[in-house]
Amino acid sequence: RKEVEQDPGPFNVPEGATVAFNCTYSNSASQSFFWYRQDCRKEPKLLMSVYSSGNEDGRFTAQLNRASQYISLLIRDSKLSDSATYLCVVRGNTGKLIFGQGTTLQVKP
Amino acid sequence: SAVISQKPSRDICQRGTSLTIQCQVDSQVTMMFWYRQQPGQSLTLIATANQGSEATYESGFVIDKFPISRPNLTFSTLTVSNMSPEDSSIYLCSVVLGYEQFFGPGTRLTVL
């Protein structure tokens, strides 16, 4: 079993749609959680950190459920510019980042 | 934030040769990380490079294949030795600054 698992995608949605990505992690001792965005042929960049209380940044909402070891990312009112690969990332108890395989989102006009 | 540059940005190499990738950061950092991203895959940590000590390698990666140098707090190199086509990948260096981890633009390596 992979340490961080994500919906494989790809997700193809029209502009304006709401889309949700899910992620599960296997190590209950994991300490920090993130969503990174990676554009084609570019390096990953931090989109947002994920907290147990849930957090929102504009059209993006991230949720963490420690009991279920589950992380989600919700994107509302999708834009063409949201097209990218979204990486679920977990910092384990060793301090290292562990990356999920990524979920590809394609927003179409 | 951290500004990270890598050289070369891409290269095409013959099997059996070696390539050294350079990573320069605009801030002094204790740890630098080297990742590999194979085609269609996510990132895998190769090793952690600490200034003044040996790099720490992850399972499946060895120093003979991926020697690393860390001569100061802003610079590191990763060498991919005795390359084979399976080494074709993007190699990224990364640093932690504050609570955020930043990545370099990557070196796209193709081994023929």
Q: What is the pLDDT of residues B53-75, one digit of tens each?
A: 889 999 999 999 999 999 999 99
pLDDT digits (tens, 9 = 90+) for A58-69: 999 999 999 999
Cβ contact B43–A87 (<8 Å): yes
Q: If you measure CA to CA, which chain B residue comes closest to A47? A: B100
* Residues from chain B contacting residue A25 (CB–CB below 8 Å): none
Best mutation target, B42, B92, B107, B110, to test chain A (most A CBs within 10 A): B42
The torsion of the CA quartet A96, A10, A21, B101, rounded to 10 degrees, works out to 30
Name the band, by pLDDT with cuts 50, 70 and 90, for residue B2.
confident
Cβ atoms < 10 Å from Cβ of B45: 19
Q: Chain-wide mean pLDDT for chain B? A: 94
State residue B84's pLDDT score. Answer: 96
Number of Cβ pairs closer than 8 Å across A and B?
Answer: 28
For residue B46, give the H/E element and its range: strand B43-50
* Mean pLDDT calculated for residue range A6-24: 93
CB distance from A49 to chain B under 8 Å? yes
Count of CB atoms situated within 10 Å of the CB of B104:
26
Mean pLDDT along residues B90-111: 93
